[in-house]
Copies of this chain bind each other. A is one copy, B any other.
Amino acid sequence: MMQGRFLTIEGIEGVGKSTQVARLSAALTECGVGHVVTREPGGTPLAERIRQLVLVGQEEALPSAAELLLMFAARSIHLANLIEPNLSAGCWVVCDRFTDATFAYQGGGRGLDPHHIRQLEFIVQGERRPDLTFLLDAPVELALARARRRNGGADTDRFESERLDFFERVRCAYLDRAAAEPQRIIVLDAVQSADALCALMMSILKEQAWIS
């Protein structure tokens, strides 16, 4: 049986990832492509418990190295219990964030050594990488304004409460990765309409001959 495709959607808060994941899923269904939609950190009950440890602020400080290790622990569970079994069964996996986010947030944002992140990537993933990644890109101020409107003053998580320069570093790290791997990571202008953006993603999948 042919392996399923592993597709990830990346970008900072407020670029419209969740919207595009939902639209892409609907468009794939319309094309008859069997797929699961999932997210990181999380994606399985056990990995979602780790997500809570990482995203919900505690009374106790969470060191950056611990945050990084928890991200990869959740990823290891997600890969073994959801992503790999689906890909092996020929099912596509559409994932809201993956390891590029770790390089962007923990590497770019928190300033952790990318060499350490690459070591962890190898320990957890071996040679497994997404087949294709859509990086939704927008200026930080614009994206964060959109995220704030969406939250409507609700509680922010440990990342959403970071400052502007943190997200500037995250965005830069994302764009650096896209520049280094232009075949895998496609940068898309997230300022365009949601309809146009989804149509563009589908046209790229057609270009790749993944769908007809």
Using CB atoms and an 8 Å cutoff, list the residues of chain A in contact with chain B.
44-46, 49-50, 53, 58-63, 65-66, 68-70, 72-74, 76-77, 79-81, 116, 119-120, 123-124
Contact B46 A58 (CB under 8 A): yes
Q: List 27 A-B contacts (CB under 8 A).
A: A44-B60, A45-B58, A45-B59, A45-B60, A46-B53, A46-B60, A46-B62, A49-B53, A60-B77, A60-B81, A61-B80, A62-B77, A63-B79, A63-B81, A65-B123, A66-B77, A66-B80, A68-B123, A69-B69, A69-B70, A69-B72, A69-B76, A69-B123, A69-B124, A73-B73, A116-B119, A119-B119
Give 10 nearest A-B pairs by CB, closest first. Answer: A69-B73, A66-B76, A63-B80, A46-B60, A65-B76, A66-B73, A69-B69, A70-B73, A116-B123, A119-B119
The distance in angstroms between the C-alpha atoms of A72 and B116, with both chains bound, is 14
Residue in chain B with minimal CB distance to A66: B76
Min CB gap A86→B, angstroms: 15
Query: CB-CB < 8 A to A66: which residues of B?
Result: 73-74, 76-77, 80
Min CB gap A121→B, angstroms: 12
Residue in chain B with minimal CB distance to A72: B69
Min CB gap A120→B, angstroms: 8
Query: CB-CB < 8 A to A119: which residues of B?
Result: 116, 119, 123
Min CB gap A47→B, angstroms: 9
The distance in angstroms between the C-alpha atoms of A49 and B76, with both chains bound, is 18
Query: CB-CB < 8 A to A80: which residues of B?
Result: 61, 63, 66
The distance in angstroms between the C-alpha atoms of A116 and B72, with both chains bound, is 14
The distance in angstroms between the C-alpha atoms of A46 and B172, with both chains bound, is 32
Query: CB-CB < 8 A to A69: which residues of B?
Result: 69-70, 72-73, 76, 120, 123-124
The distance in angstroms between the C-alpha atoms of A1 and B50, with both chains bound, is 38
Query: CB-CB < 8 A to A53: which residues of B?
Result: 46, 49-50
The distance in angstroms between the C-alpha atoms of A69 and B77, with both chains bound, is 11
Chain B CB count within 10 A is highest, among A46, A59, A73, for A73
Chain B CB count within 10 A is highest, among A77, A116, A119, for A77
